[in-house]
Chains A and B, each alone.
Chain A
Amino acid sequence: MSGNAALGEAAVLAGCTCYFGYPITPQNELTEYMAKRMAEVPGGVFIQSESEIAAINMVLGASVAGARAMTSSSSPGISLKQEGISYLAADELPAVIADMVRGGPGMGNISPAQSDYLQATRGGGHGDYKTIVLAPASVQELADLVPVAFDLADEYRNPVIILGDGMLGQLMEPVSFDHIKPPAEFPKDYILNGAKGRPSRMIHSLLFDTKLEEEHNWKLYRKFQRIEQNEVRFETFMLEDAEMVVIAYGTSARIAKGAIKRLRQENLKVGLIRPITVWPFPTEIIQETANRVENFFVFEMSTGQLIEDVKLALGGKRHIHFYGRPGGVIPTPIELYRVTSRHYYQAVREKSQ
């Protein structure tokens, strides 16, 4: 199954009953899958919207009405959704947004890229807010993380982004949905469904009073701190004895694993830290590792965005090597193997001098 279709099926199994989308490559298979699948789901809603702006606002409406709602797009379309994502965060409404990143800026191309890392992890739209960002590295993991995304969105009442790329979306891999449980129940005491037998409710983000706006911003901030404390996810690979540690997420982490296996055959002690949540970022494991490892190697399909978080985590204390390919170029494991071993030997030389 393609990553895009697996994402759709996992969403259905996770209780998503509303999908709103606008065509854009490389995520069209998901929109098409949902067009078919939502018709089979009781109460299922599918709308091919007039724009990404409309789609995210339909998600907002469905979310306010109490449904599990989702939209998806790729880079240029996600830019248009940022207005709505900011409102979802401000209104504290759950929603899941999938971003199958492609090369940019501007129209860019339709090849896989990781150049929207900063947009996804820094809020992306206007105002002081964050989105939870999950970055799967395989079709199975993508399917596994979709129910997690919906649960996190409901638990924290905040938008959650699934950050993939064109490769993950279009990759065909075997995938199992067996372990996806029916969705958990979350309190819906905020939804708008007509004030029958209860006081009317209002949801708004306009707070003319600067004191109230500040209070609201701090309240959101405290929520984001809770998320940072509780929801960090990462994977480590051959980390125990590593002398150089690659930090990469999503597709590039997958490429890095291939390269590391080869490096290990030559006894180069290279390991991997793979953030699964890129926000909240796994700062602690990087800092712990830095207690014994001098050399880190950031690899991403961009000119350098993830590296900013690694720099923040390391606080200037360790050596950071970097390799990035922007514009939709997918480096091969062999290429990364060569680059990594070059940096590895350079580090060894410097140490012995």
Chain B
Amino acid sequence: MKQIYGRPKILKEAHFHYCPGCGHSIVNRLIAEVVEEMKLRDKIICVAPAGCGMLLYNYFDIDTLESAHGRGAAVSTGIKRVLTDSLVFSYQGDGDLAAIGTAEGFHAANRGELITVIFVNNGVYGMTGGQMAPTTILRQVTTTCPAGRNPDSAGHPVKICEVFSMLDGTSYLERVAVNKPAAVIQAKKAIAKAFQHQINKTGFSLVEILSPCPTNWKMDPIRSCKWIDEVMVKEFPLGVIKEVTC
């Protein structure tokens, strides 16, 4: 019998700790598939965040290091500058990259570090219980903006791809989603493309992934997926934000 679908070998037998309907589990699987298909296991190093993605080392059968909250891009920089032929990526949430680690991400991008950031944007701080994130949509309710995000006091959603696109060191920035099959296929392509940019040494690459957090959005998984299309995508348009030909 010909097997047409199965578990990527890069994914260990462990059970995901993610909540039902969480986008992290899809993103984890996509990364594992890409690593396997591109035959990267021998040279890839993953830098895990503080956030719901922090237990990546339990799932990936690749060298993985946990970073302090927000410092993934700086840690990746240190690794990649030593192991110039390796492939290094940090996996970061929106609190991780767009709040506490903005400086590290921004300057790694500006220096054109040959690293990739997989940026999971779920609009909230998932791990700590659903507080407001820099990417929370205006008027979206979270535990720390119970009346909805008010731009007068809490500012506006941060658009990392658009901000980073102004930096000459960046070579590939795409925003995708994992809320429906076609989007998931596109997300996988974007991850592969970002890795390819790193391999080709064209510059800093980042894939921003709009990802459902049903638990903290207080929606069921199906509603969460729809909400991405109906609300989130209007604030964070999908597509390639920047691509420098390699």
Residue B183 lies at the interface, judged by CB distance under 8 Å to chain A: no
Distance of A64 Cα from B65 Cα, bound (Å): 8
Distance of A330 Cα from B72 Cα, bound (Å): 41
**1/0 per residue A45-84: CB within 8 Å of B?**
1010111011101111111111101000000000000011
Q: A194 — nearest CB in chain B belongs to which residue? A: B43
Q: Are A47 and B77 in contact (CB under 8 A)?
A: yes
Q: Which of B46-100 contact A (CB under 8 A)?
A: 47-48, 54-55, 57-58, 60-68, 71, 74-83, 86-87
Q: Are B60 and A206 in contact (CB under 8 A)?
A: no
Residue A299 lies at the interface, judged by CB distance under 8 Å to chain B: no
Pairs across A and B, CB under 8 Å, 12 listed: A54-B74, A55-B74, A57-B71, A58-B78, A60-B67, A61-B65, A64-B65, A84-B71, A194-B86, A200-B60, A200-B64, A206-B66
Interface residues of A (CB under 8 A from B): 17-18, 20, 43, 45, 47, 49-51, 53-55, 57-67, 69, 83-84, 87, 91, 192-197, 199-206
Q: State the Cβ distance, A91 to closest chain B Cβ, in Å.
A: 8
The residues of A that contact B54 with a CB separation of less than 8 Å are 206
Distance of A73 Cα from B213 Cα, bound (Å): 41
Q: Are B82 and A53 in contact (CB under 8 A)?
A: no
Residue B201 lies at the interface, judged by CB distance under 8 Å to chain A: no
Q: State the Cβ distance, A174 to closest chain B Cβ, in Å.
A: 34
Distance of A20 Cα from B87 Cα, bound (Å): 21
Report which residue of B42, B45, B60, B74 has the largest number of chain A beta carbons within 10 angstroms of its beta carbon.
B74
Q: State the Cβ distance, B39 to closest chain A Cβ, in Å.
A: 11
The residues of A that contact B103 with a CB separation of less than 8 Å are 50-51, 53-54
Q: Are A45 and B65 in contact (CB under 8 A)?
A: no
Q: Are A45 and B43 in contact (CB under 8 A)?
A: no
Q: Are A62 and B43 in contact (CB under 8 A)?
A: no
The residues of B that contact A61 with a CB separation of less than 8 Å are 47, 65, 74-82
Q: Are B104 and A67 in contact (CB under 8 A)?
A: no
A45 touches which one: B76, B82, B87 (CB < 8 A)?
B82
Residue B242 lies at the interface, judged by CB distance under 8 Å to chain A: no
Q: State the Cβ distance, A114 to closest chain B Cβ, in Å.
A: 29
The residues of B that contact A20 with a CB separation of less than 8 Å are 78
B104 touches which one: A43, A57, A66, A204 (CB < 8 A)?
A57
Q: Are A204 and B71 in contact (CB under 8 A)?
A: no
The residues of A that contact B193 with a CB separation of less than 8 Å are none
Q: Are B104 and A53 in contact (CB under 8 A)?
A: yes
Q: State the Cβ distance, B48 to closest chain A Cβ, in Å.
A: 7
Distance of A168 Cα from B78 Cα, bound (Å): 29
Q: Are A196 and B78 in contact (CB under 8 A)?
A: no
Q: Are A196 and B43 in contact (CB under 8 A)?
A: yes
Q: Are A58 and B45 in contact (CB under 8 A)?
A: no
Given contacts A20-B78, A194-B41, contact A50 B107 (CB under 8 A): yes
Interface of B is mostly: mixed
Q: Are A65 and B82 in contact (CB under 8 A)?
A: yes
Distance of A201 Cα from B48 Cα, bound (Å): 13
Q: Are A204 and B57 in contact (CB under 8 A)?
A: yes
Residue B44 lies at the interface, judged by CB distance under 8 Å to chain A: yes
Distance of A53 Cα from B71 Cα, bound (Å): 8
**1/0 per residue B100-139: CB within 8 Å of A?**
0001101100010000000000000000000000000000
Q: Are B83 and A193 in contact (CB under 8 A)?
A: yes
Distance of A192 Cα from B104 Cα, bound (Å): 21
Q: Are B71 and A64 in contact (CB under 8 A)?
A: no
Report which residue of A57, A60, A91, A201 has the largest number of chain B beta carbons within 10 angstroms of its beta carbon.
A57
Distance of A193 Cα from B60 Cα, bound (Å): 15
Q: State the Cβ distance, B95 to closest chain A Cβ, in Å.
A: 16
Q: State the Cβ distance, A226 to closest chain B Cβ, in Å.
A: 25
Q: A196 — nearest CB in chain B belongs to which residue? A: B42
Q: Are B74 and A194 in contact (CB under 8 A)?
A: no
Q: State the Cβ distance, B69 to closest chain A Cβ, in Å.
A: 9
Q: A83 — nearest CB in chain B belongs to which residue? A: B68
Identify the 9 closest CB pairs spanning chains A and B, nearest first. Answer: A61-B78, A202-B57, A204-B66, A57-B74, A65-B82, A58-B78, A196-B42, A192-B63, A194-B43
Distance of A51 Cα from B67 Cα, bound (Å): 17
The residues of B that contact A64 with a CB separation of less than 8 Å are 65, 75, 78-79
Q: Are B68 and A57 in contact (CB under 8 A)?
A: yes
Distance of A201 Cα from B62 Cα, bound (Å): 7
